[in-house]
Structure 1
């Protein structure tokens, strides 16, 4: 069985990249620091490299509960520390009396500056406080260009990692069975919806998997996928635990309102 058989066709480019990083670390003793990876990408990287004896991988995203993380691929005699991940941290100040800003507002404003999503990590939002985590290489660009969110003027304050808010993981973990790993079947299970309603949401472009809009109801999901359904919240496919006697897939998943 080929290594590619374990992953989606569209993930083959990423798998090839990981194999190249692994070879370079093994043969050339090189160290690779990646951009920010989503949870599915971390899952793939961990599965390909995570159990090697001589090549190791370590993840860090600024906080213990970070979802988006950078990875360092290295030889076993090196032990990366926090500084090696080259992260910068900022608090966003704005007039909360006059403006209400959401995670989506911050994300949209940052993307509108032309920044790739891989260049910044989690956006921490707790009541009126907002913090962002960036790759160091783009901090000057952000300081110069990121000065408003929607119609709200903002000021950026550079902070240290110990000043980051630790957002509690409020996933509710559940288990269930589904007839298939198609996206419509999973959305139906996650949010207690009819299969028809789930299909309507997908076809309307209201469902994202790993930050990408999926509009095909036959899309096959995999462990580590994170789902966002407009109006229903977020969910995560934590594990696929084989089939039941009735030939249904046993799954463990998390939901978040």
Structure 2
């Protein structure tokens, strides 16, 4: 197997729910360590890695409390949840021997650096993993959109959307055993077939700026490495 990466710099989009494992909410330590183990494999290959993390494992765990809440207030609470996840991810990375930095779109100087594009690029070039927290720093935008923005700002080669399913399928593979995984799709094909790859705003940004997306399962052992090596893993959405 070739050990030459197909990509020099990637943006990994992780949902907050990915950190829960089999728990109903919160952070499952074994799960986060397994994810970090996959990240370490690609860092050791010399790939530069940026990460955007969601907050659904924390905020959705108390989402009933947000019922009737002002949308902007609820979104800011969600952004703060992503900072908590980013700190947990950084801690797990450092335990695994990865040098990581957290940059937050919300100012929280005691726990995270403010987001500064030039500094983030410098860290990536130095081989550090940069974890981008607090989404875009604005309400009404998802962490998918934050991932699209950070991916473009960091000039990454590809955005990798980590999910529980190993790609995009013709139908829900859990409900339909006849569902077939797409190896590749164009942006227009995904839109035309109403395949919800990611948030519509983020998807349009990636399409318009020519940033390809690879959808894969972060829970499939070695999948991230296979994606980075350019092997047939997941689904590539391209222009």
Asked whether the two chains share a fold, i.e. TM above 0.5, the reply is no
Q: Which has the higher strand share?
A: 1
Instruction: Report TM bin, short chain.
Output: under 0.3
Structure number with greater CO (CA < 8 Å, separation at least 6) is 2
Larger radius of gyration: 1
